[in-house]
Amino acid sequence: MNLESVLSPALPWSYIACGLLGLALLWPTIRLLDQLWWRPRRLERALRAQGLRGTSYSFLLGDMSDYGRQNKEAWSKPLPLRCHDIGAHVLPFLYNTVEEHGKQCISWFGPVPKVSITDPNLVREVMSNKFGHIQKVKFPALSKLLAVGVATHEGEKWVKHRRILNPAFHVEKLKIMLPAFSLCCEELVNKWAQSLGPDGSCEVDASLELQSLTGDVISRTAFGSSYLEGRRIFQLQSEQVGRFMAAIHKIMIPGYMSFPTKNNRRMRQINNEIESILRALIGKRMQAMQEGGSTNNDLLGLLLESNKTDVNENGQSIPGMSIEESGRTVQGRRFLAYLENISLTTRVLID
């Protein structure tokens, strides 16, 4: 044996380097396994020990595959005429899980357990509890691309944004928006009237028409005179939701939203365009306010007015939202309005 090769200083250092590299890789691997397997299994055992029943955890995806499959099956078929049992059609996965496991049951959004409560009395008790045990599920990368606002904030930040938003949703303020609602409905009715054939009838895709009506109403009430920019934001958010739903089975893969896939790149482009439009609108409106102009009676104007005059209980001025926060708040309100109107109202009306 060559004694010099054994005693060579390069050999021990290579072992040390390999060992350090192995340790560096071992730690994130252990954390990843804990996040995706050990922790969900511990939580599942703890929830079942409390008497809750539900689906078993499946590695990485949880119930996302079943969720997508059941939605696709239910939404591919219309409800029978005069059928008012819409639960199994609108929320098929939740409906089937409750039927199988009871009114309090467990399901899995990826590695995150979700306890669904459908008993009205228990829901009332949980929602009125002030201990703060219930926290909102956080998906930072995803939330940034969809909506950030009151719906995603907690604690002091939630209180601050809620206080600024409240005046914009007083009954008297909402009444000011009624002409915009009326105008959008009149335009839709006139459009249908012009489509009538010689026999006085026409075929209308009510689903698409109601989605368009929702976009018109939200754009006019949110941005007023900047209606066209609002329509563009609505179109972009509609596309964003569609792309999110197409990738919903993959978002639980750690770091997936950072992968340079075609869908992810387009979602980031959409987000950047929406932010750019909102920043321009808010900057223009704030400049008009500084020059003594009217804030307008739309959501953006009411929000900026409330933000400008925000004071605490002692009458002292409180720093309001930044331009970015204001834009994301309006975007978040629009996104929630979009989901509420499209996902629920439209389906109920159509079915």
Q: Is residue 89 situated within a structural domain?
A: yes
DSSP codes, 222-283? HHGGGHHHHHHHHHHHHHHHHHHHHTTTTTTSTTGGGS--HHHHHHHHHHHHHHHHHHHHHH
With respect to residue 316, please indicate whether it lies within any of the assigned structural domains.
Answer: yes
In a domain, 4, yes or no: no
Same domain, 213 and 261: yes
Report in angstroms the alpha-carbon separations of 2 from 7, 9, 10, 12, 90. Answer: 9, 14, 15, 16, 76
Range(s) of the domain holding residue 93: 49-131
Query: Within this chain, do residues 102 and 161 fall inside the same structural domain, yes or no?
Result: no
pLDDT of residue 1: 46
Q: How far apart are CA 195 and CA 185, in angstroms?
A: 16
Same domain, 161 and 105: no
- 230 touches 299 (CB < 8 A): no
**Tell me, what's the pLDDT at 255?**
77
Q: Does residue 11 lie in a domain region?
A: no
Give whole-number Cα distances, 124 to 87, 115, 121, 127, in Å.
20, 15, 5, 5
Domain assignment present for residue 2? The answer is no
How many other CB atoms are found less than 10 A from the CB of residue 98?
Answer: 19
Whichever domain contains 167, its CATH number is 1.10.630.10
Report the phi/psi class of residue 195: left, alpha or beta, with left for phi > 0 and alpha for psi in -120 to 50: alpha
- Ranges of beta strands (E only) in the chain are 53-54, 104-109, 112-117
Could you tell me if 246 and 178 lie in one domain? yes
The total of structural domains in the chain comes to 2
Whether 79 and 160 share a structural domain? no
Greatest CA span in the chain, whole angstroms? 103
pLDDT tens-digit series, residues 10-28: 456 777 777 777 778 888 8
Structural domain includes residue 324: yes
Note whether residue 25 is domain-resident.
Answer: no
| Residue 88 CB burial class (10 angstroms; 0-12, 13-18, ≥19) | middle
The Cα 35–Cα 254 span in angstroms is 10
- Same structural domain, 178 and 280: yes
pLDDT given for residue 6 in this prediction:
47
User: For 138, what's the count of Cα atoms within 13 Å in the CB-facing half-sphere?
Assistant: 6
Confidence (pLDDT) at 48:
95
Residues 70 and 213 in one domain: no
3-state helix, strand, coil in the chain (%, to 5): 65, 5, 30
Q: Please tell me the pTM assigned to this model.
A: 0.69
On whether residue 18 sits in a domain, the answer given is no
One domain for residues 334 and 241: yes
Tell whether 164 and 113 lie within a shared domain.
no
Q: Do 225 and 331 reside in the same domain of the chain?
A: yes
Instruction: Say if residue 285 is in the same domain as residue 162.
Output: yes
Q: Which residues of the chain have pLDDT under 70?
A: 1-12, 130-134, 137-141, 143, 147-151, 225, 252, 293-296, 307-351
Q: Both 112 and 169 in a single domain?
A: no
